[in-house]
Amino acid sequence: MKFYVCIKQVPDVDAPIQIKDGNLIQDTDRMILNAYDASAVEEALVLTEEDDDSEVEVVLVGPDKAQETIRKALAMGADKATHIKTNGDENFDSGTYARILAKFFEDKEYDVISCGKQSQDTDAGLTGGMLAQHLDLPYATNAVGLELEDGNLIVKRQGDSGQEVIALPQPCLVTCSNDMNEPRIPSLKGIMQSKRKPMESVELEDLGLDESALQPKTEVTGYMEKPGREPGQKFEGEPDELAEKVAHLLDEEENVV
Amino acid sequence: MSTLLTHIAISDGKIKRSSLEVLSHLRQQAEANGHDTEAVIIDQNASQYVDQVKEYGPSTIYTIEDPIFENHRNTPLLKALGQVMDEADPHVFAFGSTESTKDILGALAARQDAAVLSDVSEFELTDEGIKARRPVMAAKILSDSVAKGDKILVSVRSGSYDLDESSADSEVVNLDFSIDESDIKATLRDIIGADSDKIDLSEAETIVAAGRGAKDDEGQELINELASVLNAGIGASRALTEAGVMDPSLQIGQTGKVVSPQLYIAVGISGAIQHVAGMANSKVIVAINKDPDAPIFDIADYGIVGDLYKVLPPFIEELKKIKS
Amino acid sequence: MDEKFDCIIVGGGIAGLAAAMILARNNMKFLLIEKGEFAGSKNVSGGVLWGHDLARLVPGYWEEEDGGWERFINHRRLTFMDEQSTFSIDFKSSHFNETPYSGVVVLRSKFDRWLAGKVQEEIDQSDHAMESFIATNIKVDEVLMENDKAVGIRTGDEEFHADSVILAEGVNNLLTRQVGLQDDYVPADHMLTGIKEVIRYDQKVLEDRFQLNGLSGMSNEFVGYSTDGVEGGGFLYTNRDTISLGLVAGIKDMREKEKSPHDILNTFKGHPVIQDTIKGGEVVEYSAHVVSSGDKRVMPKELYKDGVLLCGESANLLMNAGKAIQGMDLAMRSGILGAETIVKAKERGDFSSQTMKEYRQALDESYVMQDINNFQDAVHMLHSPEMFKDVPNLICDFGRKFFTIDNEPTKKSREMMSESIKEHSSYWDLIKIGFKGAKSL
Ligand SMILES: Cc1cc2nc3c(=O)[nH]c(=O)nc-3n(C[C@H](O)[C@H](O)[C@H](O)COP(=O)(O)OP(=O)(O)OC[C@H]3O[C@@H](n4cnc5c(N)ncnc54)[C@H](O)[C@@H]3O)c2cc1C
Ligand SMILES: Cc1cc2nc3c(=O)[nH]c(=O)nc-3n(C[C@H](O)[C@H](O)[C@H](O)COP(=O)(O)OP(=O)(O)OC[C@H]3O[C@@H](n4cnc5c(N)ncnc54)[C@H](O)[C@@H]3O)c2cc1C
Ligand SMILES: Nc1ncnc2c1ncn2[C@@H]1O[C@H](COP(=O)(O)O)[C@@H](O)[C@H]1O
């Protein structure tokens, strides 16, 4: 069976950030594999573990620098990769990435395409659904568990009030939450093998997309600090007294109990 | 004059408050810019909610009523939404941000070739489309975005706007709906853990949230007791949902729910940015943690440094006294 | 896939990366293993990398617009402080503007990552582009030994073999101990704790406040009240738009005086002069790390044995003779010399002590061991209570008298000096210090 996992390189949200004149400046260029995609890769590896004929391929749209992220997925155990190359200075939004990926998948054969449920940095959560629509695939988002059952992908997705169990006939698309597993940390052997695994590079121009398809419909115009919360009060001391004090503050000062 | 359409989401037999928040805001935007406000209800009992929606003053309310909408399923919902968009031709179509909307927003945008901004905390109309503010980088900072074009979808975080009633004698348009079962390739087999009595975290006034510090039975008992005294919803950090101690639907944060209650009590939670991303907009935050350097204290209005097993019992007692 | 490497380097700090650069340049097949998420992710450093070795590793590094370094030092200041005052010796010279710079300030998480990128580029151009690796997020658990010769490493349940191992694991040198080059018990008495805050400003504000021009920078060391009576010293270095402010303090002395590094740093920051210097900034990072004292008594018994070499702080190579902390430059030079020895060993096909000892010789002949040997007395003196208490007090007291004009008959400075000396120290002690100082520097 053939699994494709769409992976994205994102800035590490744990790294220090700074805003200057409305632009985002990251102290270091710390870029990582989107955590949700790492879960998607992990799950694909687990699901195909038993089956020797199966193949997990990762696809990434991004600049040269993003190859380190592809290597990471290969080091985890993915079999091969396609790198669709961009300059990195385009202002692509989820819609553009979805159209690029759709074009790539147009002539591919696959059983399952999986995506992360959202990008860790933008939390957009749109690409997966868009891609499913372009490819006219049955899909489910926010999966917290996956299982294979002849010809079907059984998705447990976190819905508004409970977990919905959905059977998707293959080929299908799913977006993964990081709540479904703990992605493996590549072993040294994995890291070493990753260098020799096939990685195909495709120039974005060679995909044959119309210029208009590359035009994003949304645009980020600037960044700003969050309005800070007023500094609060921190109490240390006897638990009994603190408990009493804070309970009364909530009642009398804040009126929230 | 263009149409500003709001989707009214129904969950567990109730209108989601976030939908009404969005409708309130959109109506104000429409009034300020000379546009028309409309709403759509898609549910197995859609007509049942019409009166309540009228209180928020849309000129037209579309309803699509069909048993297929008993539970959330993306294929029929997308079809219905597409049908409404064809009918109403909205310039802006706004949603409250829920798991169900997140499930269809991308696909709907692709289907309608519309611009889309998800999970915004503020937005307004401009000459070209909309301008919106979104928390990004695990809600560490905000970004401003614009969406251009004549078709724009936007979903809005719950708690972003106040409810604002302004009753109108809305016109009600019932749309016929039909879909071939064979067109629905995905089968919904089961729904686990749906519990309609639970307090909906995204709408709760008070939330008691437990973290790894309150992992054991005794901790859980104290959390339950505190929540019951305050009539609060119970939430959790990922440490607890991951460990299977608490139901995954209770997770608050970047992966889980975004909440904005009046009072948020974080018990034994360190305050990782991914957790804070989901609760930083609470009005009053109380943190109980034994580590004085825990990052949660940086955002708490009231921080109690101490062992939760020693702090909670007298805290609960005192609150009981206050309540009675 | 059991292939043998020429060398496995443990640790992706300065020493390990320097060694890797030399190995890559000499077409060696090697593996560098770093336990942090990326090179630099676990590294703390106040930050001046002294000397010219960086130019050997990355020729023309100063031309890179956004290289891994922050600023070059052309302004140095040594400050004595008592509770209220500071008395500084200040030296600035355009001579220091010439490249290669003689000191650059670095922030390690950025610098190490950048240097690792440069090493990767070198690997990509080497004969072993596909067989040499920098692997991060992997912790080496054990050095594999056969007949007391290092033959590889183990991480988890994976083993990897190599003709040689370079241990560049830093001050917390567990593997150095495991291979038997250092006793398991190293007295903490000779160790220090370093702590550091990175404080951010608007870049313009920073440049105006410290009179920085372009990418020029200042280094300031502090002696005296900066460590609140504990042995050690403080530092302030300017980065692009932040400063690194911190101190190193003796672990034993802190324990005896019941002080924590955190408290001492707060005292330092609360000093009226420091308050003025750092006001308006926002603390964006805080970190703490053990540092060697530079005391030869804690150095490993030897720096090599069959198949293995120690580089950088895993060999406790560090110098702090009062005018600067030198750890990174020693790490870099020792990494270079270590790797050069491995290259020789490969040529000869002999990785035994016979070749490895040439590393020791090279190090002995270089400034590294010469300075460590020559300045031992200064190191000891610096750790004597007179140095971080009496002397700064005396100097500041004198300064206060000297610079006060109060409409009273002014005494001659000689007289002022002797008054200060009486108050803070005896003549005899001062003569001792002067004598020791003259001898040690
Ligand atoms: C992409 C991504 C998405 C994520 N999404 C989420 C999310 O949606 N929600 C979320 O919560 N996390 C999320 N996380 C995980 C997050 O980073 C943290 O790991 C998690 O929030 C930690 O949970 P915690 O605070 O309960 O546990 P810990 O960080 O382990 O903290 C436990 C705290 O309890 C305190 N404590 C222990 N015992 C006691 C006691 N007896 N009395 C008082 N205090 C005590 C400790 O001092 C400590 O501060 C995400 C991570 C990633 C990478
Ligand atoms: C606060 C402070 C300020 C300082 N200021 C200065 C200064 O201004 N100038 C200066 O020259 N020096 C300074 N130093 C000293 C300097 O930082 C060190 O001497 C220098 O970092 C030593 O380099 P190294 O490569 O030997 O070790 P490190 O930089 O410590 O690198 C060791 C690396 O090995 C890795 N590692 C360890 N064990 C394993 C394992 N088992 N498996 C895999 N990886 C492992 C670690 O993660 C680490 O990345 C300062 C130190 C401190 C703490
Ligand atoms: N540039 C890209 N290359 C590959 N996959 C991508 C890319 N951008 C988004 N995706 C996929 O879409 C998900 C995130 O969607 P979104 O939140 O809309 O950015 C990621 O988890 C990936 O699976």
CATH number at residue A155: 3.40.50.620
Question: What is the C-alpha to C-alpha distance for residues C279 and B274, in angstroms, rounded to an integer?
Answer: 31
In a domain? residue A148: yes
Q: Is residue C231's pLDDT more than 80? A: yes
Which residue from A115, A118, A177 has its CB within 8 A of the most atoms of ligand 3, so it is best to mutate? A115
Which domain-ending residue is among C294, C309, C343?
Answer: C294
Same domain, C216 and C258: yes
pLDDT tens figures, C110-121: 899 999 999 999
Question: What is the C-alpha to C-alpha distance for residues B37 and B42, in angstroms, rounded to an integer?
Answer: 17
In a domain? residue C374: no
- Tell whether B56 lies on the interface with A, counting CB pairs under 8 A: no
Residue A237: C-alpha distances to residues A242, B271, B304, C379 (Å): 7, 21, 9, 44
Contact C29/C14 with Cβ under 8 angstroms?
no
In this predicted structure, what is the pLDDT of residue C13? Answer: 96
Residue B291 CB neighbours (<10 A): 13
Q: What is the CA radius of gyration of chain C?
A: 23
- Determine the atom of ligand 1 nearest the C-alpha atom of B273: 17
Going by CA atoms, what residue is nearest to atom 17 of ligand 2? C45
| Token pair 């050095």 in the structure block, residue | C143
* SS (HEC) of C338-392: HHHHHHHHHHHCCCCHHHHHHHHHHHHHCHHHHHHHHCHHHHHHHCCHHHHHHHH
In a domain? residue A156: yes
Which domain-ending residue is among C247, C275, C294?
Answer: C294
Mean residue pLDDT of chain C comes to 90
Q: Which residue of C has its CA nearest to A26?
A: C110
Contact C1 A193 (CB under 8 A): yes
Report the complex ipTM.
0.89
Contact A28 C155 (CB under 8 A): no
- Residue A15 sits at the vertex; the CA angle it makes with C54 and C289, to the nearest 5 degrees, is 60
Q: Closest Cα partner for A21 from A229, A225, A226, A227?
A: A225
In a domain? residue C270: yes
In a domain? residue C50: no
In this predicted structure, what is the pLDDT of residue B105? Answer: 98
Same domain, C174 and C314: yes
Backbone angles phi, psi at B91, to 5 degrees: -75, -45
CB within 8 A of C24, min separation 6: which ones? C30, C119, C122, C123, C125, C126, C132
Q: Which fold has domain B206-323?
A: Rossmann fold (3.40.50)
Q: Smallest CA–CA separation between A184 and chain C, in Å?
A: 11
Contact C139/C169 with Cβ under 8 angstroms?
no
pLDDT tens figures, C132-151: 999 999 999 999 999 999 99
Mean residue pLDDT of chain B comes to 95
Which residue from C8, C9, C14 has its CB within 8 A of the most atoms of ligand 2, so it is best to mutate? C14
Same domain, C38 and C121: yes
In this predicted structure, what is the pLDDT of residue C440? Answer: 62
Distance of CA A181 to the CA centre of its chain: 14
Residue A253 carries which DSSP code? I
Domain with CATH 3.40.50.620 in chain B: 3-183
In this predicted structure, what is the pLDDT of residue C1? Answer: 45
Residue C383 CB neighbours (<10 A): 20
Q: What is the CATH number of domain B3-183?
A: 3.40.50.620
Question: What is the C-alpha to C-alpha distance for residues A154 and A138, in angstroms, rounded to an integer?
Answer: 12
Q: Smallest CA–CA separation between B169 and chain A, in Å?
A: 31
Of the pLDDT bands very low, low, confident and very high (cuts 50, 70, 90), residue B226 is very high
CB within 8 A of C374, min separation 6: which ones? none
Predicted model pTM: 0.91
Backbone angles phi, psi at C277, to 5 degrees: -70, -35
Which domain-ending residue is among C240, C265, C294?
Answer: C294
Cβ of A127 less than 6 Å from ligand 3: yes
Same domain, C13 and C162: yes
Q: Closest Cα partner for B101 from B220, B202, B180, B223?
A: B202
In a domain? residue A146: yes
Same domain, C79 and C199: yes
Residue A12: C-alpha distances to residues A31, A32, A122, B323 (Å): 5, 6, 11, 45
Q: Smallest CA–CA separation between C74 and chain A, in Å?
A: 24
Contact A250 B262 (CB under 8 A): no
Q: What CATH code is carried by the domain that includes residue C347?
A: 3.50.50.60
In this predicted structure, what is the pLDDT of residue C434? Answer: 64
pLDDT in tens, chain A (257 residues): 999 999 999 999 988 888 888 898 875 568 899 999 999 999 999 999 999 899 999 999 999 999 999 999 999 999 999 999 999 888 999 999 999 999 999 999 999 999 999 999 999 999 999 999 999 999 999 999 999 998 999 999 999 878 999 999 999 999 999 999 999 999 999 999 999 999 999 999 999 999 999 999 999 999 999 988 888 999 999 999 999 999 999 999 999 98
In a domain? residue A227: no
If you average pLDDT over residues C401-406, what whole number do you get? 85
In this predicted structure, what is the pLDDT of residue C438? Answer: 60
pLDDT tens figures, B2-23: 999 999 999 889 999 999 999 9
Q: Which residue of B has its CA nearest to A26?
A: B137
Q: Is residue C186's pLDDT more than 80? A: no
Partners of C158 on chain A (C-beta within 8 Å) are: 187-189
Which domain range does residue C242 map to? 61-99+188-294
In this predicted structure, what is the pLDDT of residue C299? Answer: 86
Question: What is the C-alpha to C-alpha distance for residues A173 and A176, in angstroms, rounded to an integer?
Answer: 10
Q: What is the CA radius of gyration of chain B?
A: 21
In this predicted structure, what is the pLDDT of residue C437? Answer: 61
Contact C75/C219 with Cβ under 8 angstroms?
yes
- Ligand 2 centroid from CA C192, angstroms: 13
In a domain? residue A222: no
Same domain, C67 and C145: no
Which domain range does residue A138 map to? 2-214
- Tell whether C69 lies on the interface with A, counting CB pairs under 8 A: no
Interface of B with A in 250-309 (CB under 8 A): 251, 254-255, 262-263, 273-274, 280, 283-286, 292, 297, 299-307
The answer, yes or no, to whether the previous bond of C385 is cis (omega within 30 of 0) is: no
In a domain? residue A185: yes
* SS (HEC) of A120-150: CCCCCCCHHHHHHHHHCCCEEEEEEEEEEEC
Q: Per the structure, how many domains does chain C have?
A: 3
Which residue from B140, B223, B238 has its CB within 8 A of the most atoms of ligand 1, so it is best to mutate? B238
Same domain, C91 and C132: no
pLDDT tens figures, B251-260: 999 999 999 9
Size of interface A-C (CB pairs under 8 A): 34
Contact C110 A27 (CB under 8 A): yes
In a domain? residue C233: yes
Distance of CA C169 to the CA centre of its chain: 14
Ligand 1 pocket (Cβ < 6 Å) reads A 35, 120, 178; B 211-213, 237-239, 251-256, 268-270, 272, 274-275, 278, 288-291, 294, 307-309
Q: Per the structure, how many domains does chain A have?
A: 1
Distance of CA C346 to the CA centre of its chain: 30
